[in-house]
């Protein structure tokens, strides 16, 4: 299927025979009945490109336009210039192009005065193919002119058809992009895989059976146990869902899979297609369509684009899946340790998460990093579960001994989380450990300074103080807004990273919107 670049100029009748029953419709426009007669005699029983002619007649410019208005598949008009007026024919040519917007019908002008050609400008403006003197009505001359003109009409129609198909493909692709932007609503990887296969099949009008396969590791790992998992499959392959790719199926597609993984792109074979993309966490994703796939270059580009798009959506989904796993892990750990230990309000934790995300984005961290920090932030004070109630819930100021006990919550939180595997819990361990460090090195527990403090902890430090000052605690009332902002300003470069303070003021309206939306209903600890 590599000949689509030159099939337009292929004069074999393949294309025409598809519609062999349809004649070419040719409209003779002339006010002299004799001309109709002669033309019919000259062209009557000849086939052009495998199709006969259907000759139609109009005897004035007005009648010609009415006929064209009704029949939008007239291929050719043999058009007299002088009829009801000197320029009636030229008026027809102008009206058919400019008013009826018919740019398909071919036009051969015929004039009674040999040697007087219509102006070049007229020929170009109204896309007139040819002009002939009426004396040139011999069968041979007419045949040659009509053949050339019908050929160009056929090409125009094919291009038009192709453009419509391409537009349909584009619409399919837009649907795909819409679908992947709503990917956050898809509940599982499997549902995602199903959606991708359905979209791809719809996009390319495929009826074939298909598989969505994830491969861990490199091409060399293909044969190892557990390297492949079928996420979704249709038709005869449906039984493979959630299983490794069966040996016989793997063997059938292996050369293409090898090639796709080696070259990092999709492979179009005669009787199947292997779409490829690599999610940036490492796993390779294969979309296998089993069956002949005849695609133009433009279609192939669309498929490649689709695969890239899918890989971005897949990345988002994997991240979300990891967050969900992590959250289950968190809930498990907390329910074991805590059990209504802290009076801290849930709202505080939600606000912190939103503040942290806004600050991280403003500071230019990636979506993914911001998401991880947001997910980890609720655990920043988890170490407080190890602080005795009398200290934690003391209504007034802490004395020095109590303060020393209180300060251990940072190291305690770190100790609780430091061995966890999920990257969100690793991040939480760092945040728990470092969120009371200060930019100037006067914080606790490690007295880290500047960029030795993890950016996530620098963000949480500010979010934490902003929230503590803006709301009442058991040991203090809420501060007025101006005082809160002044304290944060004063802390720029001493308590806080100056860049984080700048980000804070840049997103202050959004922070305050969060504050308003997530207000405390009861007093926190
Ligand atoms: P928290 O209540 O969540 O406060 C977090 C951080 O906000 C504090 O970290 C501190 O940096 C800032 N902050 C809170 N209230 C004030 C304030 O009135 N003035 C100023 N300048 N900053 C404030 P810090 O100091 O390391 O305290 C850690 C945690 O220790 C607090 O978390 C709170 O649970 C507890 N805590 C601190 N001071 C007292 C206290 O006087 N009485 C009681 N009962 N608990 C305290
Ligand atoms: C087709 O010919 O398959 C549709 C148009 C295109 O994709 O080039
Ligand atoms: C991360 O990249 O781990 C998030 C925070 C940071 O950039 O340090
Ligand atoms: Fe804390």
Q: What are the tens digits of pLDDT across the range 425-447?
A: 889 999 999 999 999 999 999 99
Does the C-beta of 454 come closer than 6 Å to ligand 3?
Answer: yes
How many Cβ atoms sit within 10 Å of the Cβ of residue 183?
19
Q: How far is CA 213 from CA 217, 278, 281, in A?
A: 13, 12, 16
Pocket test for ligand 3, best of 365, 430, 448, 500 (most atoms within 8 A of CB): 365
The answer to whether the beta carbons of residues 153 and 76 sit under 8 Å apart is yes
Closest residue to atom 3 of ligand 2, CA basis: 296
**Lowest-pLDDT choice from 17-21, 48-52, 207-211, 362-366:** 17-21
Percent pLDDT > 90 in the chain is 37
Q: What is the largest CA-CA distance in the chain?
A: 120
Residues near ion ligand 4 (CB < 5 Å) are: 381
Q: How far is the C-alpha of 123 from the C-alpha of 7, rounded, in Å? A: 28
Domain boundaries, the chain: 24-160, 185-311, 342-517
The answer to whether the beta carbons of residues 475 and 367 sit under 8 Å apart is no
Judged by its nearest atom, the ligand closest to the C-alpha of residue 162 is: 2
Q: Which residue has the tokens 């907390």?
A: 334
Q: How far is the C-alpha of 157 from the C-alpha of 134, rounded, in Å? A: 29
Q: How far is the C-alpha of 416 from the C-alpha of 384, rounded, in Å? A: 11
pLDDT of residue 328: 59
Q: How far is CA 396 from CA 386, 409, 464, in A?
A: 20, 19, 20
Judged by its nearest atom, the ligand closest to the C-alpha of residue 373 is: 3
Does the C-beta of 473 come closer than 6 Å to ligand 1?
Answer: yes
pLDDT tens across 4-35, in order?
333 333 333 333 344 446 899 999 999 999 99
pLDDT tens across 253-265, in order?
999 999 988 888 8
On the question of pLDDT at 514 being above 90, the answer is yes
Does the C-beta of 349 come closer than 6 Å to ligand 2?
Answer: no
pLDDT tens across 79-104, in order?
999 999 988 999 999 999 999 999 89
Instruction: Please tell me if the domain spanning 185-311 has the same topology as the one spanning 342-517.
Output: no
Phi, psi of 89 (to 5 degrees): -65, -40
What CATH number belongs to 185-311? 3.30.450.40
Q: Which residue has the tokens 């009787």?
A: 271
Does the C-beta of 173 come closer than 6 Å to ligand 2?
Answer: no
CATH number assigned to the domain with residue range 342-517, chosen from the 4 options 1.10.579.10, 1.10.3720.10, 1.10.3210.10, 3.40.50.150: 1.10.3210.10
Phi, psi of 524 (to 5 degrees): -85, -175
Closest residue to atom 8 of ligand 3, CA basis: 455
Q: How far is the C-alpha of 103 from the C-alpha of 127, rounded, in Å? A: 8
What is the SS3 assignment for 9?
helix
pLDDT of residue 388: 83
Judged by its nearest atom, the ligand closest to the C-alpha of residue 3 is: 2
The answer to whether the beta carbons of residues 410 and 435 sit under 8 Å apart is yes
pLDDT band at 282 (very low <50, low <70, confident <90, very high): low
pLDDT of residue 182: 47
Pocket test for ligand 1, best of 393, 435, 473, 525 (most atoms within 8 A of CB): 473
pLDDT band at 120 (very low <50, low <70, confident <90, very high): confident
Does the C-beta of 166 come closer than 6 Å to ligand 2?
Answer: yes
pTM for the full model? 0.49
Residues with a known catalytic role: 384
Closest residue to atom 1 of ligand 3, CA basis: 369
Q: How far is the C-alpha of 486 from the C-alpha of 58, rounded, in Å? A: 88
Tell me the CATH architecture of domain 24-160.
3-Layer(aba) Sandwich (3.40)
Indicate which atom in ligand 2 lies nearest the CA of residue 299. Answer: 7
Does the C-beta of 360 come closer than 6 Å to ligand 3?
Answer: no
């Amino acid at each position: 299927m590599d000949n689509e670049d030159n099939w337009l100029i292929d004069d074999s009748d393949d294309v025409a025979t598809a519609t062999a029953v349809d004649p070419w419709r040719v409209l003779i426009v002339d006010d002299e009945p004799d001309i109709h007669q002669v033309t019919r005699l000259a062209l009557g029983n000849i086939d052009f490109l495998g199709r006969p002619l259907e000759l139609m007649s109009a005897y004035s410019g007005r009648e010609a336009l009415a006929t064209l208005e009704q029949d939008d598949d007239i291929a050719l008009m043999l058009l007299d210039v002088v009829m009801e007026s000197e320029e009636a024919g030229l008026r027809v040519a102008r009206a058919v192009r400019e008013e009826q917007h018919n740019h398909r019908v071919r036009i051969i002008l015929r004039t009674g005065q040999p040697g007087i050609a219509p102006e070049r400008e007229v020929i170009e403006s109204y896309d007139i193919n040819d002009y002939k003197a009426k004396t040139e009505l011999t069968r041979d001359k007419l045949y040659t002119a009509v053949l050339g003109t019908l050929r160009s009409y056929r090409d125009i129609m094919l291009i038009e058809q192709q453009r419509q198909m391409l537009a349909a493909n584009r619409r399919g692709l837009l649907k795909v992009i819409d679908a992947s932007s709503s990917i956050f609503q898809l509940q599982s990887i499997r549902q995602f895989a199903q959606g991708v296969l359905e979209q791809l099949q719809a996009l390319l009008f495929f009826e074939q059976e298909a598989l969505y396969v994830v491969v861990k590791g490199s091409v060399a790992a293909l044969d190892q146990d557990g390297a492949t998992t079928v996420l979704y499959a249709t038709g005869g392959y449906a039984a493979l869902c959630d299983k490794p790719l069966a040996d016989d199926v793997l063997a059938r597609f292996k050369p293409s899979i090898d090639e796709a993984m080696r070259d990092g792109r999709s492979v179009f074979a005669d009787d199947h297609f292997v779409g490829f993309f690599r999610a940036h966490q490492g796993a390779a994703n294969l979309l296998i369509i089993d069956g002949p796939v005849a695609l133009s270059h433009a279609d192939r580009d669309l498929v490649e684009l689709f695969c890239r798009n899918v890989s971005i959506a897949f990345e988002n989904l994997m991240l979300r899946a990891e967050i969900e796993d992590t959250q289950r892990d968190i809930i498990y750990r907390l329910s074991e340790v805590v059990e209504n230990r802290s009076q801290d309000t849930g709202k505080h934790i939600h606000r912190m998460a939103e503040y942290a995300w806004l600050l991280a984005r403003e500071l230019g961290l990636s979506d993914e990093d911001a998401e991880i920090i947001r997910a980890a932030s609720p655990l920043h004070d988890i170490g407080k579960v190890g602080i005795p109630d009398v200290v934690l819930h003391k209504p007034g100021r802490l004395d020095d001994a109590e303060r020393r006990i209180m300060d251990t919550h940072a190291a305690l939180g770190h100790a609780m989380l430091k061995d966890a595997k999920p990257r969100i819990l690793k991040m939480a361990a760092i945040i728990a450990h470092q969120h009371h460090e200060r930019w100037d090195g006067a914080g606790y527990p490690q007295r880290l300074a500047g960029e030795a403090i993890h950016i996530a902890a620098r963000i949480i430090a500010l979010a934490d103080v902003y929230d503590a000052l803006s709301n009442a605690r058991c040991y203090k009332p809420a501060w007025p807004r101006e005082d809160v902002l002044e304290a944060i300003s004063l802390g720029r470069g001493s308590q806080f990273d100056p860049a984080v303070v700048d980000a804070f003021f840049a997103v202050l309206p959004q922070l305050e919107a969060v504050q308003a939306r997530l207000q405390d209903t009861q007093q926190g600890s």
